[in-house]
Amino acid sequence: MSRRSGILEFAVLGLLRESPMHGYELRKRLNTSLGIFRAFSYGTLYPCLKTLVASGWLIEEPGSAPEDALAASLAGRRAKIVYRLTAEGKEHFEELLSSAGPDAWEDEHFAARFAFFGQTEREVRMRVLEGRRSRLEERLEKMSASLSRTRERLDDYTLELQRHGMESVEREVRWLNELIESERSGRDQRRSDPAGAAQHEDTPENHTPGETDGLPRSRDAASAGGTPPRHPGPDPSADTAK
C-alpha cells in the first residue's frame, strides 16, 4: 500500500465512523474537511472503497429508493450505494488512531491525523505533536545550513523564497508549541483535580466527536465541525533547501 492510499483509507474510515455516507458525500467531506484531498477524484476514491469493502472494514448498502421507481428506471438512475463501517472496520480505525510512528509526522499524514484528534487519546496526540515538532526542527536546521552555504550564489528572489520557506516552518513550530503546551496544561490540571478528571476522562461516554479539550480556547470554534484549525503548513519551497 502506498503512503498516499494509506492516508486516504484512514480518512475514509474516520469519516464513516461518524456516520454512513455514499460516495458523493464522502468526496465532498474529504474535499471540504480535509484540504489535503482537494485534488483527488472519484477514480481514486472508489478503488479505495472497494479495497476497504474487500478487507471487511466496510459494507455496501442500498440507499433510500426514489419515490417513483419507474420514473427513476426510465431515467437511468438508481439508488446510491451507502458505505457503512463494520465492527472490524471500527476496530481497525482505532488501531490506526493509536499509532504514533514517524508516518504520522509527515506533511500529508499529519494533516489527516490532526483532523481526527477529537477521537484520539491525549497521550497519542502528544506523541504525534512532539514528533511533528521534532521533524520540523530537523528541517529548519537543514534549511538554515543550506542557506548559509548557498547564500552568496543566490539571486535576491531565490534568497527571498528560501527565507519565506523557513518562516513558514518556523510559524508551524510555534503553533505546535502552543498546542503541546495546551495539552500539557490540560493533563496537569486533571492530575491536580482527581474529581474533575473522573468527570472529564477521555472515554466514548464522556468524549464528544470533535471535542479537543487540549486545544487553546481560541481554536475551539474552528475545530467544532471536525475541521482542523488553519495553521501555517510547511511551504513547498522548503524542499528546495534540502
Residue 236: how many other CB atoms lie within 10 Å: 11
Which residues, in sequence order, are bridge partners of residue 81?
62
Q: Report DSSP state, residue 230.
A: P
pLDDT tens-digit map of 55-91: 999 999 987 654 444 444 544 555 689 999 999 999 9
The pTM assigned to this predicted structure is: 0.68
Q: What is the pLDDT of residue 35?
A: 63
Q: What is the pLDDT of residue 95?
A: 94
Separation CA 158–CA 160 (nearest Å): 5
Separation CA 117–CA 30 (nearest Å): 16
Of residues 87 and 23, the one with the higher pLDDT is 87
pLDDT tens-digit map of 173-210: 999 999 999 999 876 565 666 554 444 444 444 444 44
Question: What is the overall mean pLDDT for the chain?
Answer: 77
With beta carbons less than 8 A apart as the criterion, state whether 241 and 142 touch. Answer: yes
